[in-house]
A and B are shown apart, each in its own frame.
Chain A
Amino acid sequence: MSERPVEAARGDALTLAASVRSGNRRARDVVEEHLEAIAAREGEIHAFNVVLADEARAAADAVDTRVAAGEDPGPLAGVPIALKDNLCTRGVPTTCSSKILEGWRPPYDATVVQRVAAAGAVAVGKTNLDEFAMGSSTENSAFGATRNPRDPSRVPGGSSGGSAAAVAAGFAPLALGSDTGGSIRQPAALCGVVGVKPTYGAVSRYGLVAFASSLDQIGPFAVTVADAALLYDVIAGHDPMDSTSSPAVAPRVSATLHDGASGVRVGIIDELIDADGVEPEVRAAVERAANALEEAGAKVERVSVPSVIYGLSAYYLIAPAEASSNLARYDGVRYGLRVDAEDVGAMNARTREAGFGREVKRRIMLGTYALSAGYYDAYYGKAQRVRTLIGRDFARAYESFDVLLSPTSPTVAFELGAKASDPLAMYLSDVCTIPTNLAGHPAMSVPYGTGRDGLPVGVQVLADAVQEPTMFRVAQVLEERA
């Protein structure tokens, strides 16, 4: 139904890795093809803050040397990957698309960056994002907006819009993003690719620049569900460098990917499919997806998860509160921008005034207010209690269902500028994705047909904590029947 992005022409990650590992293709040739694709269209799309052409060639040559020596470079051998620019890369600029970190070169690699490199992947660039991952359109970047490869007059979604666009444009078959309230799944939906937010604690956050620490998770983008599974299996697992990394073994998902949906209990979330602002074509796509699962042997029913209607309000108190604390570190002392002043307090305040963009200031202010004396109980405290309610309601739903379904985004990709001047309208883009983050559960977006103006629609598959294997199986069935 939905047309494949141009990436198909350059091969999916599983095929590329297999051909590089077997010596049938050189990693260097694979990376050159992708660098050509980037050169041809990056000027129009602006998926990247920096393209790492020389570094990618060197990494690809190293993979080829290992293959020639009879070694196995790993499951991602020679596969180009795009990295969201809030993942620390040693010696390579990591900006979070903020002027406050412009030019900063981290002295270490994020754990996920180490893991994909150790698996043989080749990083081709750092992708654009809404500044510090705060936004749903990638327009809040200090370095200019990213455009949607499916229709460059539209946004790619956000905040991981650069990563989604890079995969949709065929610049790389894989990308990493981060998801605090939908920042992987919503851009995946708007760009017509697969995007996964893993269980909180399944993937190490070490080296991910913090936004809201109790919500942030790193996850994969890919053209196919199988490729997303491949990347998930590489990045998931305990990391002693992240104290919030789960010590339990993260179950692998690739082995059971093709086990089908027979007997799987699927619940369509009433409150999300009927939420205000959900376009009729989007609702219809979720219903068609449910029918497809039923035909594949799943049992589909509607289910109510009542407290998710408070998710958006709770999120826009909790996430800014945590952000206001996390972003206190940008004080002009240890890294990034400094605007000099006569004393240290004025230096802090002027540096932050000059270095942060409009949305980041808005969230810091909102979070500081929600945590301030006299308002803590009414706002932040209340939001944390709502978080408990949402967790309880999901727990009740998962007593009767294995996975839940909803729209990923209420709408297809919108025009650049359409919501830029109305923060609340922009925040509503995340109404279907936020509850998952509050619960700490996994969820993923799978392309499922098209909606208004022929633009891609994503269906969201949600699951209970550490139930990624079932979630991926269902996503695989949806992809086959889309």
Chain B
Amino acid sequence: MALTRADVEHVARLARLALTDDEIERLTVELGAVLEHAADVASLDLVDVPPTAHPLPLRNVLRDDDVRPSLDRDEVLAAAPAAEDGRFRVPRILDA
């Protein structure tokens, strides 16, 4: 299952990366090599083995529903690339 240039372009769109032609070229080779190495895992028959997502057996860790101070809004917005009226400012998200 060789990785193609079209695969890499598709994945770049999913990952929101505006890659250059050179990068797409190089990543097609490099990712192909890593996936080839991963073939040892991909070819194992493990249908009877459950997956492990996480090393700790913790579930639904919740705190008490008490109101408590959060980060200061102005301080948080001061670190943003653009802010306006107490909110993050972004370019247009809908077609005009």
Contacts and interface: CB of A to CB of B under 8 A. Distances in A.
Nearest to B15: A368
Contacts of B3: 369
Given A343-B91, A424-B33, A378 B42 contact: yes
Interface in A231-285: 240, 243-244, 246-247
Given A107-B79, A424-B37, A362 B72 contact: no
Contacts of B51: 381, 384-385, 387-388
Contact of B91 (A347, A365, A366): A347
A387 B72 CA distance: 40
A205 to B, nearest CB: 12
A385 B46 contact: yes
Contacts of A418: none
A385 B49 contact: yes
B41 A336 contact: no
Given A343-B91, A440-B56, A352 B41 contact: no
Looking at chain B's contact residues, is the secondary structure mostly helix, strand, loop, or mixed? loop
B90 A349 contact: no
Contacts, number: 166
A350 interface: yes
Contacts of A353: 17-20
Interface centre among A108, A361, A438 (most CB of B within 10 A): A361
Given A107-B72, A333-B88, A365-B15, A244 B56 contact: yes
A240 B41 contact: no
A431 to B, nearest CB: 11
Interface string B47-91: 001111111101001010000000110011001111000001011
A313 B14 contact: no
Nearest to B10: A372
A interface majority secondary structure: helix
B14 A372 contact: yes
B54 A324 contact: no
Interface in A212-248: 214, 240, 243-244, 246-247
B38 A316 contact: yes
Interface string A108-134: 100000000000000000000000000
Contacts of A440: 55-56
A107 B42 contact: no
A66 interface: no
Contacts of B54: 214, 244
B41 A200 contact: no
Contacts of B16: 328, 331, 345, 348-349, 352
A340 interface: yes
Contacts of A328: 16
Given A366-B34, A382-B44, A385-B52, 11 more contacts: A201-B58, A314-B41, A316-B38, A328-B16, A343-B91, A344-B93, A362-B27, A362-B31, A365-B8, A372-B14, A385-B49
Interface of A: 104-108, 200-201, 214, 240, 243-244, 246-247, 310, 312-314, 316-317, 324, 328, 331-338, 340-350, 352-353, 356, 361-362, 364-366, 368-369, 372, 378-379, 381-389, 391, 423-424, 427, 438-440, 465
5 contacts: A314-B41, A348-B16, A366-B34, A385-B52, A424-B33
